[in-house]
């Protein structure tokens, strides 16, 4: 009687042990799936080993245009050394010829020549941190353009990729706001835009 009871107890304990082990394996597999999905859903980040090319003279541009009442064309460029170069209704300026936002090195050089040094220099580490996001921003989609105001002008935040083979600069719109609005849908676009707005405010003294 005791042996039978003891055997039943052992059998029950063994069954419970197997069930617990099976549940543990199942939970472990579920956890692995959750972790895998989490990595898949994380948006593309900034490159860790990004290096700024010495040949790429311009990395970022902020531009404001408003021709509603008077001609207003102003903004700034950030060069590869972190210098913030400002412009205000320059006599010579090369805009993007079409929606591809491609401009050549000679045109970029002339735009730089039309700027003045603001005296603001972005620290090397800070410049590298934001520049490392350019390729991923360039690979992301842009939201549909919406008409959001009238006679307010248009602000554009742009980053540049550079081809050493062709010498061309490929601009990518990070954000547009004002009369017309749209934004790049990359996760880091908002951070880069906020950083560029802070620079704009420093130039204007706000």
Is the overall model pTM greater than 0.75, yes or no? yes
Helix axes 189-204, 124-131, angle to 10 degrees: 140
Q: Alpha-carbon distance 25 to 157, whole Å?
A: 50
pLDDT reported for residue 201: 97
pLDDT in tens, the chain (206 residues): 555 555 555 555 545 555 555 554 445 545 443 333 333 333 445 766 677 889 999 999 999 999 988 889 999 999 999 999 999 999 999 998 788 899 999 999 999 999 999 999 999 999 999 999 999 999 999 999 999 999 999 999 999 999 999 999 999 999 999 999 999 999 999 999 999 999 999 998 86
Token reading at 30: 């579920």
Report the mean per-residue pLDDT for the chain: 84
Residue 196 contacts residue 122 (beta carbons within 8 Å):
no
59-91: burial string, b at 16+ Cβ within 10 Å, e else: bbbbbbbbeeeeeebbbbbbbbebbbbbbeebe
pLDDT tens per residue, range 127-139: 999 999 999 999 9
- Show me where the domains of the chain are located: 1-42, 58-204
Decide: 167 and 160 in contact? Cβ < 8 Å: no
Question: Over the stretch 39-67, which tens digit does the pLDDT of each residue have?
Answer: 333 344 576 667 788 999 999 999 999 99
């Amino acid at each position: 009687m005791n042996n039978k009871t003891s055997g039943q107890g052992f059998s029950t304990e063994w069954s419970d042990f197997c069930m617990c082990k099976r549940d543990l394996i199942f939970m472990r597999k579920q956890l692995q799936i959750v972790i895998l999905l989490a990595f898949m859903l994380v948006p593309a980040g900034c490159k860790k080993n990004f290096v700024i090319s010495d040949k790429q003279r311009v990395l970022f541009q902020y531009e404001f245009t408003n021709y509603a009442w008077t001609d207003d064309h102003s903004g700034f460029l950030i060069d590869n050394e972190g210098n913030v170069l400002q412009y205000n209704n320059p006599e010579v300026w090369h805009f993007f010829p079409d929606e591809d936002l491609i401009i050549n090195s000679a045109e970029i050089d002339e735009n730089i020549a039309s700027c003045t040094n603001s005296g603001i220099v972005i620290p090397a580490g800070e410049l590298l941190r934001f520049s490392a996001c350019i390729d991923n921003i360039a690979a992301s989609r842009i939201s549909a353009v919406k008409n959001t105001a009238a006679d307010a002008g248009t602000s554009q935040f742009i980053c540049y990729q550079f081809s050493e083979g062709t010498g061309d600069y490929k601009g990518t719109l990070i954000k547009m706001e004002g009369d017309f609005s749209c934004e790049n849908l990359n996760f880091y676009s908002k951070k880069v835009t906020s950083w560029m707005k802070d620079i704009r405010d420093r130039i204007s003294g706000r």
